[in-house]
Amino acid sequence: MSSEVNMKVLVIGANGNTATRVVRRLAEGSHDPVAMIRNPVHRDKFDKLCVPTVLADLEYPIDHAVQGCDAIIFAAGSGGKTGKDKTVLIDHIGAIRTMVAAQVHGVRRYIMLSSINNDINSQSPIAHYHRAKAHADNHLVGTDLDYTIVCPGGLTDEPGTDLVSVSSKLQGKGMTSRENLAAALVACLDLDLSIGKSFSLLDGDMPTADALSAL
C-alpha cells in the first residue's frame, strides 16, 4: 500500500554524496525537500536546485530544523576522514538527537540511511562505525516513530540502474550504487509497507519498486 501525500521532508546531512542525490530526486518529485546543512558555503548548491536550506549541527539541538516537517531522511555521516569520536557524536548520539526532536515535534515518518553489517559488538575493520550505526538503529526501533531502516552495502558512484536486491538479512557482502540507494530512500516515503522494516539494499536484478513492494 502506498500513500502519496505531499510531505515536507528534512534531509539531514544533505551535502553528502548520497543525500544530495536524495534532495535532487525529492525536488523532482511530489515532495518538498529541505536541505539541512552545517556549513553555509553549501547553500549555493541547493539554491540552484531551488531547495530551501536550514543551518544545523548534529552536535547541538536541531529543533528549529525539524519544526514544521512531515518526514525526516537521515543521511548524515561523520565521514571517513574524522576520528572515532566524531563517529560516535554524529552517527550515534547525533542520530538519536534527531529522533528525539522528531518525537517532540510530531514528525512521525523517519527514514534512516544505515549500513549493512551493523552490530553493537562489531569486530570489523570499521567496528566503531558499525557499532555507532547499530546503536542508533536499535534506538530508532524502540521509538514510536514510523521508521524505515535502509542498509546498503559498499557505496559506489556507478550510474543508477533501478535494479536492486532487497533482503531482511542485514549481514553480508555487496555493493550499492548511490543512485539506486537514493531512489529507494525516496520511494520508501510513499510506501506504507516499508514502515517498521529494516532491510539490506544491494545492486541486483529486480526493479526497485517491485523489490520494495515485496518487503
Nearest C-alpha neighbor of 178 from the set 47, 19, 32: 19
Q: Among this protein's residues, is 129 annotated catalytic? A: yes
* Contacts (Cβ under 8 Å, ≥6 apart) of 100: none
Catalytic residue among 60, 110, 129, 147: 129
Cell match 541547493: residue? 46
Alpha carbons 166 and 180: distance in angstroms, whole number: 12
Q: Which residues are catalytic?
A: 129
